[in-house]
Copies of this chain bind each other. A is one copy, B any other.
Amino acid sequence: MNGENFGASERLVAAAYVRQGAQGRRAHELRLRALLEQGKCPEDGWDESTIELFLHELAIMDSNNFLGNCGVGEREGRVASGLVARRHYRLIHGIGRSGDISAVQPKAAGSSLLNKLTNLIVLDIIKLAGVRTVTSCFVVPMATGMSLTLCFLTLRHKRPKAKYIIWPRIDQKSCFKSMITAGFEPVVIENILENDELRTDLQGVEAKIQELGAENVLCVHSTTSCFAPRVPDRLEELAVICANYDIPHIVNNAYGVQSSKCMHLIQQGARVGRIDAFIQSLDKNFMVPVGGAIIAGFNDSFIKEISKMYPGRASASPSLDVFITLLSLGANGYRQLLKQRKEMFSYLTSELKKLAEIHNERLLDTPHNPISLAMSLKNLDEHSDTAVTQLGSMLFTRQVSGARVVPRNFQQTVNNYTFKGFMSHANNYPCAYLNAASAIGMKKQDVDMFLKRLNKCLKTFGKETNKGKDVSKTNDCHADLVEGEPEEPNKM
Contact = CB atoms under 8 A, between A and B. Distances in A.
A102 to B, nearest CB: 12
A159 to B, nearest CB: 11
A289 B404 contact: no
A156 B183 contact: yes
Nearest to A484: B99
Contacts of A109: 9, 13, 17-18, 20-21
A389 to B, nearest CB: 13
Contacts of A183: 153, 156-157, 182-183
A329 B82 CA distance: 11
A455 to B, nearest CB: 13
A12 B119 CA distance: 11
A372 interface: yes
Nearest to A393: B16
Contacts of A4: 29, 33
Identify which of A11, A67, A312 gathers the most chain B CB atoms within 10 Å of its CB: A312
Per assembly, the copies of the chain total 4
Contact of A70 (B176, B178, B445): B445
Contacts of A316: 289-291
A75 interface: yes
A219 interface: no
Contact of A402 (B25, B60, B71): B71
A143 B333 CA distance: 34
B67 A24 contact: yes
B93 A290 contact: yes
A288 B84 contact: yes
Interface in A94-148: 94-95, 97-99, 104-107, 109-110, 112-113, 116-117, 141-146, 148
Interface string A290-332: 1110000000000000000111111111100100110011000
A453 interface: yes
A373 to B, nearest CB: 9
